[in-house]
Chains A and B, each alone.
Chain A
Amino acid sequence: QVQLVESGGGLVKPGGSLRLSCAASGFTFSNYYMTWIRQSPGQGMEWVSSISNGADKYLYADSVRGRFTTSWDNAKNSLYLQMNSLRAEDTAVYYCARESWYTMELWGQGTTVTISS
């Protein structure tokens, strides 16, 4: 079954860190652009980061550059988002998605990140 499953969300204090995981099944994710997108409470979707197939390009939104790092593990067919120096405005549901020419053709169910003291 072709699917993406995110995990790793939780409640973290401002300034803390969290690592999200996205496990792919039914396809080899290294053949695709993979993207992290977030949706803040009551807000629209926001693109966070993309990694190219072959991992030669790492792209980040201005709002997270320098704090978030995307990586992957081919052996585990998994994508990761390391989030450091977390802020209240990072509170959101985080989705990973398989991207094809700027279209998110497959989404995970999302994992919730809450930043609060």
Chain B
Amino acid sequence: QSALTQPASVSGSPGQSITISCTGSSSDIGYSKYVSWYQQHPGRAPKVIIFEVSNRPSGVSNRFSAFKSGNTASLTISGLQAEDEADYFCSSSTTTSTQVTFGGGTKLTVL
């Protein structure tokens, strides 16, 4: 069981916006400024789309945005496109001996 909790699936139609939540605790998300989000298409390597809570790496679409409040981080994808259909998972540094903890992943379906 993952330390960070994400919904198993979300869906949306092209052009719509969706939000994926990632809930942890005061030992990880609530404590950390190092919260990241990743996109993984089937059979492909994960790709970072958000780092340090809300920053986008160069080349990542500004349709991806994120923030955190308390022990919960959230990823919003606006203007959904077919290519956004993928698995998304979050991660956070922790106060424990576990260097990084991850969410269980959310499957995004673009209807």
Contacts and interface: CB of A to CB of B under 8 A. Distances in A.
Interface in A25-75: 35, 37, 43-47, 50, 59, 61-62
A103 B48 contact: yes
A108 B45 contact: yes
Contacts of A107: 45-47
Interface in B9-61: 32, 34, 36, 38, 44-48, 51-52, 57
Interface of B: 2, 4, 32, 34, 36, 38, 44-48, 51-52, 57, 89, 91-93, 97-105
B89 A102 contact: no
Q: Which of B92, B93, B100, B105 has the most CB of A within 10 A?
A: B100
18 contacts: A35-B100, A44-B2, A45-B2, A45-B105, A47-B101, A59-B99, A61-B98, A95-B46, A100-B51, A102-B34, A102-B91, A103-B36, A103-B48, A103-B51, A104-B38, A105-B57, A107-B45, A109-B44
